[in-house]
Chains A and B, each alone.
Chain A
């Protein structure tokens, strides 16, 4: 009887640990999911691999932090302001850089986004008075949305984590609904599947592409603002997220919108769990990442277009 009780307690402890890891990975998973959705949106509508997603997010996270810390507005108002600037930024980037290069090959477009990264990083690193107050060179740590915690199934979960997760799921639901059910979504899907033909059929592909950039920039801004309270904002805030988002996009499959999102959570959870297991066994947490990514590579060898992706149809 005693043994059974002990076993039960042990299982319960392991379970609560796993649940704790699950909740811990939710926040980062959500942030990666937001970033990856933006990347997929842009890739599908303008055939560009957006390396600047992370930098755009960091830029707007700085703006949100400026308004909440320096100006003294509430976290919510400053987030709204950052979303507006992100929207404008997406439109400007599309108008100035992406649209004129519509005929460039995909690799040139990748490098174009590198150019955007360099310009934004240059602005953020600038030491001119006004820019230096908005983008200080010291790390700033804004307030999280919530600071309270609650207890779920024996695991401690911050309200902030739950809010970010809820927000992500809500945004995903809205975006999926719009893409699947509305005229606007139909136009987006048409642009994604074949841009020239869609244009010939009267779809305003330029507007679609522009709004995709704007929405992607807003998603990046939310990702940046959500991540900022943890490590604090510096220029490389979303660098790791950016790379994880790429991995999630490929693992889930670029050709669907939900695959990358699922993959983002899956990868986040697998790496957190692996890190937990390795650190309890006395190893280094870095090995978890190595192991998970190697496994993903092996899976990709057998499913080269991702878990949910379909191979593109190719005609001779």
Chain B
């Protein structure tokens, strides 16, 4: 008994110290929630949960750029669109396997990220933001111009073989949970990878650049190199989000979907969730994408107001929690401790 207690406390200590294990824990919780949802009456909600998870991953990539290096990108969604469309061409027209096609699409997006990075060496702030918008807009127009991309129309992938002989279809209700599990596992892996990047010398250098470029330069950090790297990583992660979109929804998505609107939504996930926050991305994604689709639409009195409420939610969070919704947790903790202290003081007073 005593031994078990020691082992448990030791395990708890390890868990407390290792954020990687936190991500795994969150992943397990998400999978359990998914299993509960999918066996319930409103089983299509699993699609929304998958969307929340996918955009949490994309937002984390953008967070690396925005929170850790202070650079803005307004074409995150466009990179997802490029990935889905190029994967369709690779997989259906050239019959390349899923993993290989995903890798190639991510490399293409990484190269595009390099171009954005080159522009970022010259530009700052909103100029840079709109330059990235240019690149996204141009690539989406390219997709709309050529027939091999079906001029940007939505296309459904035929049966996808993910790896070995793992084949699932989103159209079959019982197989959705497997796809969802796949997406959640990918999310956990991506969170761990980005966390490790953040903790590595690369991440520290990015952080230094975001605080003060001049100080970073003086410490011998090559601003050019790390800016390029930040954009390449961010676009590759956005592309990974596109791969997850293909993996779960098995469509390319119409080209109109991947415009400025969705990029802004992803940006708002980062801002609402809190810059430099990891779990905040899931929270932000849930607030922006999950809550309107899961709850607001079902309340009869509020149906039709979901857009307004999402807008109000965004405005309120920015006005009252400028550092992200994760701050709410700290505030609640503070309130709890305050109440506790008050209660204790009262008890002491009464005893006297």
B182-226, CB under 8 A of A: which get 1 and which 0?
Answer: 000000000000000000000000000000001000000000000
- Identify whether the interface residues of B are mostly helix, strand, loop, or mixed: helix
Question: CB-CB < 8 A to B319: which residues of A?
Answer: 97, 100-101, 104
Question: CB-CB < 8 A to A123: which residues of B?
Answer: 308
Question: CB-CB < 8 A to B307: which residues of A?
Answer: 118-119, 121-122, 125
B135-A122 in contact (CB<8A): no
Nearest B residue to A312, CB-CB: B124
A115-B314 in contact (CB<8A): yes
**By the criterion of a CB under 8 Å from any partner CB, how many residues of chain B are at the interface?**
46
Looking at the assembled complex, report how far the CB atom of B134 sits from the nearest CB atom of chain A, in whole angstroms.
5
Q: A118-B314, A122-B306 are known contacts. Are A104 and B123 too (CB-CB below 8 A)?
A: no
**By the criterion of a CB under 8 Å from any partner CB, how many residues of chain A are at the interface?**
53
Question: CB-CB < 8 A to A125: which residues of B?
Answer: 304, 307
Is B77 among interface residues, defined by CB-CB distance under 8 A?
no
Is A300 among interface residues, defined by CB-CB distance under 8 A?
yes
Residue of B122, B306, B310, B314 touching A112 (CB-CB under 8 A): B314
Q: Complex: how many Å from CA A118 to CA B288?
A: 11
B131-A115 in contact (CB<8A): no
Is A59 among interface residues, defined by CB-CB distance under 8 A?
no
Q: Complex: how many Å from CA A242 to CA B127?
A: 15
Is A250 among interface residues, defined by CB-CB distance under 8 A?
yes
A305-B127 in contact (CB<8A): yes
Of B142, B318, B319, which is in contact with the most chain A CB atoms at under 10 Å from its CB? B318
Is A23 among interface residues, defined by CB-CB distance under 8 A?
no
Is B15 among interface residues, defined by CB-CB distance under 8 A?
no
Question: CB-CB < 8 A to A247: which residues of B?
Answer: 130, 133-134, 137
Q: A116-B315, A284-B145 are known contacts. Are A107 and B127 too (CB-CB below 8 A)?
A: no
Question: CB-CB < 8 A to A250: which residues of B?
Answer: 126-127, 130-131, 134
B126-A49 in contact (CB<8A): yes
B267-A115 in contact (CB<8A): no
Q: Complex: how many Å from CA A289 to CA B141?
A: 8
Q: Complex: how many Å from CA A111 to CA B141?
A: 25
A117-B311 in contact (CB<8A): yes
Is B178 among interface residues, defined by CB-CB distance under 8 A?
no
Is B228 among interface residues, defined by CB-CB distance under 8 A?
no
Looking at the assembled complex, report how far the CB atom of B74 sits from the nearest CB atom of chain A, in whole angstroms.
9
Q: A103-B322, A116-B311, A243-B260 are known contacts. Are A111 and B304 too (CB-CB below 8 A)?
A: no
Nearest B residue to A306, CB-CB: B127
Known: A118-B310, A122-B311, A126-B305. 5 other contacts (CB 8 A): A97-B319, A105-B322, A125-B307, A249-B130, A305-B127
- 22 example contacts (A-B, Cβ-Cβ < 8 A) are as follows A51-B260, A100-B319, A106-B125, A108-B271, A108-B318, A108-B322, A111-B314, A118-B307, A119-B311, A123-B308, A126-B304, A127-B304, A246-B133, A250-B127, A250-B134, A254-B126, A287-B145, A290-B141, A293-B141, A301-B119, A306-B127, A312-B124
